[in-house]
Amino acid sequence: MILHYFKKKENKHKKEVFLLYKETIEIVKKIVSHTDKKRKKDFNLTFEIITILLFSIFYAIKNKNNLNLLNYKDFDKQDLMDIFITDIDHSLRLSGIGDTSIGKHVKLYVKKFYFRVSELEILLGINSFNYLNFNQYLLKYNIILDTTGNFTSKSIFFKFKKLIDRCVDKKINISIYDDLFK
Q: What is the pLDDT of residues 160-172, one digit of tens each?
A: 878 777 766 545 4
pLDDT-based confidence at residue 116 (cuts at 50, 70, 90) = very high
pLDDT(148) > 70: no
| Cβ count near 177 (within 10 Å) | 19
Contact 159, 180 (CB under 8 A): yes
Q: What is the dihedral of CA 76, 79, 85, 91, to 10 degrees?
A: -120
pLDDT-based confidence at residue 114 (cuts at 50, 70, 90) = very high
pLDDT(2) > 70: no
Contact 84, 57 (CB under 8 A): no
Q: Is 160 helix (H, G, I), strand (E, B) or coil?
A: helix
pLDDT(157) > 60: yes
Give me the residue spans of the domains in the chain.
3-27+40-168
The pLDDT of residue 35 is 66
Taking residues 148-168, report their average pLDDT. Answer: 74
Contact 157, 180 (CB under 8 A): no
Alpha carbon 17 to chain centroid distance? 12
pLDDT(87) > 70: yes
Contact 80, 57 (CB under 8 A): yes
Name residue 56's amino acid: S
* CA gap 168, 1 in Å, rounded: 42
Contact 170, 64 (CB under 8 A): no
- What are the start-end ranges of the H helices in the chain? 3-6, 9-33, 43-63, 77-94, 102-125, 131-140, 153-168
How high does pLDDT run on average in the chain? 75
List the single range of 69-78, 93-102, 140-149 with lowest mean pLDDT.
69-78
For 57, 100, 172, the CA distances from 91, given in Å and listed in that order, are 22, 15, 34
pLDDT(70) > 60: no
Taking residues 115-136, report their average pLDDT. Answer: 80
CA Rg value for the chain: 17
Sign of the Cα torsion 82, 84, 90, 92 reads negative
The pLDDT of residue 145 is 64
